Amino acid sequence: MSAFSKALSSTALALVAVASVSAVHAADKITIVVGGYEKQIYLPAKLTERLGYFKDEGLDVDLINEAAGVDAENELLAGQVQGVVGFYDHCIDLQSKGKFVESVVQFSRAPGEVELVSTKHPEIKSPADFKGKNLGVTGLGSSTNFLTQYMAVKSGVKLGEFTSVPVGAGDTFIAAMQQDQIQAGMTTEPTITRLLKTGQAAVLVDMRTVEGAKAALGGTYPAASLYMATDYVESHKDTAQKLANAFVKTLKYINTHTGAEIAAEMPADYYVGDKEGYVKALDAGKGMFTPDGVMPEDGPATVLAVLSGFSKNVKGKTIDLTKTYTTEFVKAAK
């Protein structure tokens, strides 16, 4: 072999090696969209990043913030992202439409949501009083919208008798209530604490704990999760396992540390100027998180019953709940 041929061969081998390294890197580059990563219900996403657990698994994870879970769902279906941190109920709703996604890590066993009522409207004493009202939700087609619709219908109010208004969370939700654009609405921490502290709202239905979820929804209600397209999970099991390893480690951290210790790891702007309130809400609500990422056995049936209570998409459909989640990766997590 000539010197030129040897050089060419060496160059080719070097390019193959570089390509292989790049391919491995590309496989471990993950984009996850979060339905509002400043919300305490989705705390595991940012906390995992801050604790360095993604990097420990050799993952390059890019977290993208979205105001509403339904927008995150759309990005997943379009193939723009590999995962979503959002509510498990989307996995059931999407199966009813012929699309298969599954919860890979189940973060919580309660919604962590509260239906707040404006103190300007003392006539609203229960969901039975929703008739003729504007009700705030993060987005149309979002999980807060699902739960709002369920509570209304369960209380005898028909879907066309109230209006769901997409107002996001945080400042936009608060402004909508202050301006009477909504008379009641569903939101999460830290927005809940901010409105209660100023006396602008009162709690109507509290689902921040497992007990509260059972009282309002009839059973354990798995909510926040990492869900991914089923075909992606099947073809990227190594990546799914690494993500499960990282998130399970975070869930164990949450369950073994105080609200103050957890808050200290989070960006300061997440406190929205009230670290004490943030910590207090976290201490009161962190029991909603699973200790190990495993789907509660009785959870999927509760979510299906709730969606079937109002959704034309789900009602009467045959849903295979075993295809809406997997425990394969969390049970194998380090």
State residue 128's pLDDT score: 98
Residue 327 belongs to a domain: yes
Residue 201 belongs to a domain: yes
* Same-domain status, 92 and 124: no
Interval 31-60 mean pLDDT: 96
pLDDT-based confidence at 11, cuts 50/70/90?
Answer: very low
Interval 122-131 mean pLDDT: 98
Q: Are 221 and 213 in contact (CB under 8 A)?
A: yes
Strand partners, 31: 62
Residue 1 belongs to a domain: no
pLDDT tens digit string along 182-194?
A: 999 999 999 999 9
* Same-domain status, 82 and 25: yes
Q: Which of 313, 329, 293, 316 is nearest to 99 (CA)?
A: 313
Residue 213 belongs to a domain: no
Strand partners, 184: 117, 135
* Same-domain status, 176 and 322: no
* Same-domain status, 148 and 11: no
* Same-domain status, 186 and 145: yes
Q: Which of 94, 190, 186 is nearest to 145 (CA)?
A: 186
Q: Note the pTM of the prediction, 2 decimals.
A: 0.89
State residue 216's pLDDT score: 96
Average pLDDT, the chain: 91
* Same-domain status, 105 and 226: yes
* Same-domain status, 174 and 274: no
pLDDT tens digit string along 289-314?
A: 999 999 999 999 999 999 999 999 99
Strand partners, 87: 224
Residue 40 belongs to a domain: yes
Domain extent for 81 = 7-110+222-331
Using the structure block, give the residue that is written with the tokens 């298969």: 100
Domain-terminating residue out of 180, 207, 234: 207
Please state, in angstroms and rounded to a whole number, the distance separating the CA atoms of residues 243 and 248.
Answer: 8
In degrees, rounded to 5, the angle at the alpha carbon of residue 252 between the alpha carbons of residues 246 and 257 is 125
Residue 84 belongs to a domain: yes
Q: What is the CATH number of the domain that holds 142?
A: 3.40.190.10
Where would I find the H helices in the chain?
3-27, 43-51, 53-56, 69-77, 89-95, 143-154, 171-178, 191-197, 210-217, 230-235, 237-255, 259-263, 275-285, 299-308, 328-331
Q: Could you give the number of structural domains in the chain?
A: 2
State residue 8's pLDDT score: 43
* Same-domain status, 242 and 105: yes
Domain-terminating residue out of 174, 207, 240: 207
Q: What is the largest CA-CA distance in the chain?
A: 91
pLDDT at 82 over 90: yes
Distances (CA, A) of 239 to 1, 20, 74, 106: 42, 17, 22, 17
* Same-domain status, 17 and 98: yes
Interval 22-47 mean pLDDT: 81
3-7, 159-163, 286-290 — which is least confidently predicted? Answer: 3-7
pLDDT tens digit string along 206-229?
A: 999 999 999 999 999 999 999 999
- Bridge pairing between strands 201-207 and 113-118: antiparallel
Domain-terminating residue out of 154, 180, 207: 207
Residue 91 belongs to a domain: yes
* Same-domain status, 255 and 188: no
State residue 66's pLDDT score: 84
Residue 291 belongs to a domain: yes
* Same-domain status, 52 and 134: no
Helix (H) or strand (E) holding 227: strand 224-229
* Same-domain status, 31 and 168: no
Interval 54-78 mean pLDDT: 87
